[in-house]
Amino acid sequence: MAGRRLKLAMAGGGEGAFIGGVHRMAAALDGDWQLVAGAFSSDPARNRRTGEQLGLDPARVHDTLDALLADERARPEGERIDAVAIVTPNHLHAPMAIAALDAGFPVFSEKPMAMNLAEAQAIAEAARASRRLYALAFTYSGYPMVEEARARVARGDFGRVRLVHVEYVQGWLSSPLDREGNKQAEWRTDPARAGLGGALGDIGTHAFQLAEHVSGLTVEALSADVTTHVAGRMLDDDVNVLLRFAEGARGTLRATQVAAGEENGLRIRIHGEKGGLEWSQMEPNTLTLRWLDRPAEIVRAGGPGLSPTTLPRLRTPSGHPEGYIEAFGNLYRAVAGSLRDDAPTGGALGEPDWFPGLESGLRTMAFVEAVLESARSDEKWTVFPALAD
Amino acid sequence: MAGRRLKLAMAGGGEGAFIGGVHRMAAALDGDWQLVAGAFSSDPARNRRTGEQLGLDPARVHDTLDALLADERARPEGERIDAVAIVTPNHLHAPMAIAALDAGFPVFSEKPMAMNLAEAQAIAEAARASRRLYALAFTYSGYPMVEEARARVARGDFGRVRLVHVEYVQGWLSSPLDREGNKQAEWRTDPARAGLGGALGDIGTHAFQLAEHVSGLTVEALSADVTTHVAGRMLDDDVNVLLRFAEGARGTLRATQVAAGEENGLRIRIHGEKGGLEWSQMEPNTLTLRWLDRPAEIVRAGGPGLSPTTLPRLRTPSGHPEGYIEAFGNLYRAVAGSLRDDAPTGGALGEPDWFPGLESGLRTMAFVEAVLESARSDEKWTVFPALAD
Amino acid sequence: MAGRRLKLAMAGGGEGAFIGGVHRMAAALDGDWQLVAGAFSSDPARNRRTGEQLGLDPARVHDTLDALLADERARPEGERIDAVAIVTPNHLHAPMAIAALDAGFPVFSEKPMAMNLAEAQAIAEAARASRRLYALAFTYSGYPMVEEARARVARGDFGRVRLVHVEYVQGWLSSPLDREGNKQAEWRTDPARAGLGGALGDIGTHAFQLAEHVSGLTVEALSADVTTHVAGRMLDDDVNVLLRFAEGARGTLRATQVAAGEENGLRIRIHGEKGGLEWSQMEPNTLTLRWLDRPAEIVRAGGPGLSPTTLPRLRTPSGHPEGYIEAFGNLYRAVAGSLRDDAPTGGALGEPDWFPGLESGLRTMAFVEAVLESARSDEKWTVFPALAD
Amino acid sequence: MAGRRLKLAMAGGGEGAFIGGVHRMAAALDGDWQLVAGAFSSDPARNRRTGEQLGLDPARVHDTLDALLADERARPEGERIDAVAIVTPNHLHAPMAIAALDAGFPVFSEKPMAMNLAEAQAIAEAARASRRLYALAFTYSGYPMVEEARARVARGDFGRVRLVHVEYVQGWLSSPLDREGNKQAEWRTDPARAGLGGALGDIGTHAFQLAEHVSGLTVEALSADVTTHVAGRMLDDDVNVLLRFAEGARGTLRATQVAAGEENGLRIRIHGEKGGLEWSQMEPNTLTLRWLDRPAEIVRAGGPGLSPTTLPRLRTPSGHPEGYIEAFGNLYRAVAGSLRDDAPTGGALGEPDWFPGLESGLRTMAFVEAVLESARSDEKWTVFPALAD
């Protein structure tokens, strides 16, 4: 912790939810945040119980986010929350983010940003109008070795980038869990709560954000094949996309939740004229660099040869693995740093205060729509417009 | 060796060539074959020198394949060659194969089968007319763990196949070697000698053959992006393809020779309803199986749990690695077995006598043409017709 | 968090220290603990500064542990600390632990337990006299897959254990850092602050504890070679030991800090009659099981096939890596659970409340002394007595 | 092949044997050798059958090696064999090698050199008296990346060597196969046919030879624990040794055949002042280098950065794996090169003509005896004398 402890409220994340607990651990990790308020569940009993388990003051546990926001606004500045974490199913992201921003509170939202691009644009408008920070949990951007990868590409280690391939391979939706009582599966495959995309929205957005973030290139056109393998499922569970990036780079994106037996296989490979990199989320502390004219190198979190922008994202010496919660913690730390400095949009890329925000959110939602448009189209290429922003 | 030693002639493969030496080692490995004749080079001095280095009778070293074939036909049956190995650049594959077949000799040819589909069909016609064996060096089919993978899919271990992803990632053509005196690079990027495809023909065909061979499914439609990244190169060096297989399976194929720093990264991943497999050519003795409901398994060459059809393809106990030359040797062994049994088309899939032949060759050439057609087209999907055969 | 939040005091861990920060993150992770008091440094200014950075009430930041203990004893029960974390260099472990226990406070101490066995026995006596909990930061016991390994051995998956090999390979002391101003290196190689052992005490104790913990077997005799490779260093930096375990098992222990280029390579391999296991700290979420008669299995944190005692040690679904801080957090969670239940010695092995304590501490200190005795001796075997306890 | 094809006779290796077949493949691989004669089995029918299967002239297939040697001596020089490969169980190594050498024929023998050191010295005497080449199948010396490792150490890349750890971990003798009809297991655990050592002689000798070969250091003292885990077995199946090398280096050697589920895990790790290396036989084309002050490097067979002495040991481009048979073939190639140059003792270390011979053989037999002496002794250290040679 490098300053005043900030106060966090949480929307969603009642008992039994997955990502809410991760947010709480990530926020607690470095001592930058204290959870002080919540609207954890639309079920009042469950909401209350969660607040008790977390040791919160019952007066700051509310049945709706609106009640919470009203209560917090009424409190004196030193006591009032500094930000709202939104960890609900997707259909609540936009209304809740807009409500919080409109009430003057910064937002750290789960991804995808919203149900569709129009909603995302409404959030962006609210954020600009309120001049409040809006951060998005593209967690994988928080890994130190993702920053190392980005920094290496940016400083030209590999020369001009030619190839960008990203994949996000899961298997947990291989069977119709969504019709067998699994809550996580249920809402993620329900268009009314998940939005336009299934695997596409849930993990394809992560893959896309990572590809653009690390390569520093924007996608300009794509050609997509979108499939639902499990009978009766209403949203896609498998997406394959050809990508054309700026400056002539070419690649593919693969996102699937029906690769039976796979866990959480997010992997990116980028090659330029002189060499390339590979990073895999399941062994996040290793970045492999390959070179045209010399042996491959294994760059390790905490080891020699790291870029200056990677170092502030590390907590332990090399060989003491940091993981998913720590990556998440880096985003919370960055948001805290930004808020303490009153910098509503975060630091520059690579700086400790940088976090994914409006731009990542809008581009990923535009990507979801472009992929679905391509999937419906007979045209080979769907142009992927730069956002007017 | 399980029978009479067969006599081999070689077309191409003079000093300095790469694949000719591999053929000679593979043929020698198990004692099934003896190299007795050759037309190694169109340069007479180089041809003669190669023959001497290999300890051949000078009377059986000829400046042209036609001379060789004529000479061999004139010899008594016990002395005459049993087959011709064709290891030249691609533009000679078809005329040489047809000449050998027409002269009554079985052929073991390097891939790709020919410069284009029309040539490949002419070879097929010659093979059928002559009733002589035609084998193609889709070497990777010879690896024991590829057979294990194929057998597992075929017997339904994974349930119905949903996802088939194959990639062949090399980096050696990242710089314009082809204009810097590298012979291998030169002819492989020259349309007059390589044929229609660059990376597509050279390694994309391997990837495609492996995908259909292991999955047991045929590709029915594709959408391709074909790129030349190195300025001035006349053929593609990077190919990305969306694949639609029979029975609803979906996948991608990636073949590139400009992933700077990569070696010979052929990798296949297949997932069905219950689990999936992964095999990587650079660690060929390992087959990883993942399961929806139990821990992943590492099946190893020579280890417990192998399918009956895998065992005859192994030479050493587990932990004593076999490699590329041994995989190649398995094809030579299969061809020898077929010839000894007078079975011109090889055994059934999985049997020790099985090898890739006309069907693999014709489908891969059709694939090359379909990919190029798709790359030129504005249509999303190019139908990939079942070959009338 | 599954109950009332406990209050923690910390001794040591001022700015610039390494392990103090890890303790704070681990304690914060699950919300079980709140750091409320500290005696962070013998340097008053540094002490004060650390307290401020951590947002503590200045009244609870003391220049000495004695002052802290006196102050806390004087506070009412609901406000008073629940435990003291000792994160100082080794020479302070015993006096501080004894002081805290004598004052009636449970202790969570860094390892090694003390400078030598006599000190460790004094701590044990104090703990028994005070009937207060004493926990030791043998962090690696906290990894979920270490519990999985232990549980598998204990339930007989591998049959009778024959081989136990453990190694802890670091390289950071390869050069004379200790004489170049590196604080961590300085005290760890100074007998007055580190105790009898260098690498032996610092990491050999971890390796030994892990070997006995996972195998469920006690070492009965050993033969050791203890070396100082870096000229001028006063303590060992490289230790190799032959181990004879109960029930006829045999093994080796290796601990080195001069394997230049290595990070934090703690690895254990155990084999029984039917199979074996391998776990490596740098990829902590994987446990490899090998079998005499079937393919190897990769058991993964969060994946299928885990033992019931492993599950409560996990926070995230499979493929979302947990690391060193989370393993540490599991110990803090276990200590909290024990304290809430008023169970001063922790739960049974495998239960969520279990943590390494007096027994691990005493055995590891006896091990340090036995290794040094063996190193000085001409006798082949040094008997390693069961502790009378 | 770089010259005249040499003629090989084989003693042992009849149908059903393992290593004889490997010798034949290795000898055939590069075309340097032609198997022309054999005394494959003491069972005349089996001997004859093997000769037929291999297509040999029946006149050169003999029931005893003595008959073979007499027959070959009587043949004219151009027809006579150039060397004898001895691939029998261990008890025949010495008498056969001496007979062949006395008859004037070079010898390529399986390891271990003999049943004990006295026998080995008798072989050495015969070799010196006859001035004929004597080569030993310490196969692992033939791997290209072992040469790369050796060359790197020798040229000082890592500074002075401090740590040398070698292990050879197999599991195939975990159960009493030797009493269940497994021929390989039977003779390897029978003192009358295997010699003094079980796992020690069979694989411990490999590990020891590799350690001295790659490190360039000789062992000067050792302390050993030698165990038989499987009840009723007459020779050791598990050996752990502390090693003291010249120049202050320290290490361990582990050789076991009862690590249930392990395959053929020969692995060496060496560290010096500036960095270290790791090589594992089951992934033989990779050499990992780690450095104190920069990222680890992955040096690959066929890739950039190889030493000049590694290159002649390679047959394929990077990423086309070579394995055990190719490593073996490198020894056959070296022996052929030596014989063609009439250099009876092989080239200098690192040269293509170098192979393991008398020195490796004598040192490994002395090692076997020293380990067994240490195991029986109460003395901590058994001095391991430099051989007078």
In tens, the pLDDT along D224-239 reads: 999 999 999 999 999 9
Lowest pLDDT segment from B92-106, C253-267, C336-350, D91-105: C336-350
CATH classification (class only), D145-317+358-376: alpha beta
Size of interface A-C (CB pairs under 8 A): 114
Neighbours of chain B (3+ CB pairs under 8 A): A, C, D
CB contact under 8 A, C298 and B303: no
**Nearest CA-CA distance, residue C22 and chain D, Å:** 24
Partner-chain residue, chosen from B29, B55, B302, that has the shortest CB–CB distance to D1: B55
Q: What is the mean pLDDT of residues C163-184?
A: 92
D residues 44-103 closer than 8 Å to B (CB): 53-55
**Does the beta carbon of D232 lie under 8 angstroms from any beta carbon of chain B?**
no
**Does the beta carbon of A321 lie under 8 angstroms from any beta carbon of chain D?**
no
Cis peptide, bond prior to residue D112, ω within 30 of zero: yes
Residues of D whose CB is below 8 A from A292: 304
Residues of A whose CB is below 8 A from B165: 254
| Residue in C106, C87, C113, C92 with CA at minimum distance from that of residue C7 | C106
CB contact under 8 A, D298 and A294: no
Does A37 or D190 have the greater pLDDT score? A37
**Does the beta carbon of B225 lie under 8 angstroms from any beta carbon of chain A?**
yes
Does C115 or D2 have the greater pLDDT score? C115
List the single best residue of A30, A282, A300, A330 to mutate versus C (max C Cβ within 10 A): A282
Degrees to nearest 5, angle at CA C382 with C265 and D249? 45
CB contact under 8 A, A259 and B242: no
Q: DSSP of C152-169, one letter per residue? A: HHHTTTT-SEEEEEEEEE
Report the distance separating Cα D230 and Cα D227, nearest Å.
9
Helix (H) or strand (E) holding C21: helix C19-29
Q: What is the mean pLDDT of residues D81-110?
A: 97
Report the distance separating Cα C269 and Cα C281, nearest Å.
12
Report the distance separating Cα D143 and Cα D322, nearest Å.
9
Does residue D310 carry a pLDDT above 70?
A: yes
**Does the beta carbon of A340 lie under 8 angstroms from any beta carbon of chain C?**
no
Beta bridge partners of C135: C108
Does residue C1 carry a pLDDT above 60?
A: no
Determine the pLDDT at residue C386.
Answer: 62
Size of interface B-D (CB pairs under 8 A): 114
**pLDDT tens digits, residue range B136-181?**
999 999 999 999 999 999 999 999 999 999 999 999 999 998 888 8
- Mean residue pLDDT of chain A comes to 95
CATH classification (class only), D6-139: alpha beta
CB contact under 8 A, D29 and B28: yes
pLDDT values of chain B reduced to their tens digit, one per residue, 389 residues = 567 899 999 999 998 778 999 999 999 999 999 999 999 999 999 999 999 999 999 999 999 999 999 999 999 989 999 999 999 999 999 999 999 999 999 999 999 999 999 999 999 999 999 999 999 999 999 999 999 999 999 999 999 999 999 999 999 999 998 888 888 888 888 889 888 999 999 999 999 999 999 999 999 999 999 999 999 999 999 999 999 999 999 999 999 999 999 999 999 999 999 999 999 999 999 999 999 999 999 999 999 999 999 999 999 999 999 999 999 999 999 999 999 987 677 889 999 999 999 999 999 999 999 999 999 999 999 998 766 44
Neighbours of chain A (3+ CB pairs under 8 A): B, C, D
Determine the pLDDT at residue D80.
Answer: 97
| Domain residue limits, chain A | 6-139, 144-311+357-376
Environment class of residue A214 by beta-carbon count within 10 Å: exposed (0-12), middle (13-18) or buried (19+)? buried
CB contact under 8 A, A297 and D300: no
Partner-chain residue, chosen from C291, C294, C298, that has the shortest CB–CB distance to B296: C298
Q: Are D174 and D345 in contact (CB under 8 A)?
A: no
Domain C145-318+358-376 fold is Dihydrodipicolinate Reductase; domain 2 (3.30.360)
ipTM: 0.96
Distances (CA, A) of D148 to C251, D284, D314: 31, 11, 11
| Residue in A134, A142, A139 with CA at minimum distance from that of residue A168 | A139
Partner-chain residue, chosen from D295, D303, D304, that has the shortest CB–CB distance to A298: D295
Architecture of the domain made up of B143-318+356-376: 2-Layer Sandwich (3.30)
Environment class of residue A364 by beta-carbon count within 10 Å: exposed (0-12), middle (13-18) or buried (19+)? buried
**Nearest CA-CA distance, residue B305 and chain C, Å:** 6
What would the two tokens of residue B89 be? 């650049």
**pLDDT tens digits, residue range C259-294?**
999 999 999 999 999 999 999 999 999 999 999 999
What would the two tokens of residue B96 be? 């040489």
Partner-chain residue, chosen from A22, A24, A316, that has the shortest CB–CB distance to C316: A22
Partner-chain residue, chosen from A1, A321, A325, that has the shortest CB–CB distance to C53: A1
Report the distance separating Cα D177 and Cα B333, nearest Å.
32
Determine the pLDDT at residue C2.
Answer: 60
Report the distance separating Cα C118 and Cα C325, nearest Å.
31
List the single best residue of D294, D307, D310, D318 to mutate versus A (max A Cβ within 10 A): D294
**Nearest CA-CA distance, residue D305 and chain A, Å:** 6
**pLDDT tens digits, residue range C185-232?**
888 888 898 889 999 999 999 999 999 999 999 999 999 999 999 999
Confidence of residue D252 (pLDDT cuts 50, 70, 90): very high
Distances (CA, A) of C225 to B12, C145, C262, D218: 61, 30, 21, 18
Distances (CA, A) of B237 to B110, B256, C66, C364, D269: 20, 6, 72, 60, 39
Residues of A whose CB is below 8 A from D292: 304
Residues of B whose CB is below 8 A from A273: 174-175, 260
**Does the beta carbon of D278 lie under 8 angstroms from any beta carbon of chain A?**
no
Determine the pLDDT at residue C271.
Answer: 98
Partner-chain residue, chosen from A175, A272, A379, that has the shortest CB–CB distance to B378: A379
**Does the beta carbon of D272 lie under 8 angstroms from any beta carbon of chain C?**
yes
Does residue C388 carry a pLDDT above 50?
A: no
Q: What is the mean pLDDT of residues D258-287?
A: 98
Q: What is the mean pLDDT of residues C84-106?
A: 97
CB contact under 8 A, D21 and B315: yes
List the single best residue of D152, D158, D163 to mutate versus C (max C Cβ within 10 A): D163
Domain A144-311+357-376 fold is Dihydrodipicolinate Reductase; domain 2 (3.30.360)
**Nearest CA-CA distance, residue A226 and chain B, Å:** 9
What would the two tokens of residue D277 be? 């290396």
Determine the pLDDT at residue C261.
Answer: 98
Does residue D316 carry a pLDDT above 50?
A: yes
Nearest CA in chain B to A288: B261
Report the distance separating Cα B141 and Cα B214, nearest Å.
9
Lowest pLDDT segment from A189-193, B28-32, B292-296, C111-115: A189-193
Q: What is the mean pLDDT of residues C9-15?
A: 94
**Does the beta carbon of B128 lie under 8 angstroms from any beta carbon of chain A?**
no
Does residue D311 carry a pLDDT above 70?
A: yes
Looking at residue D118, its amino acid is A
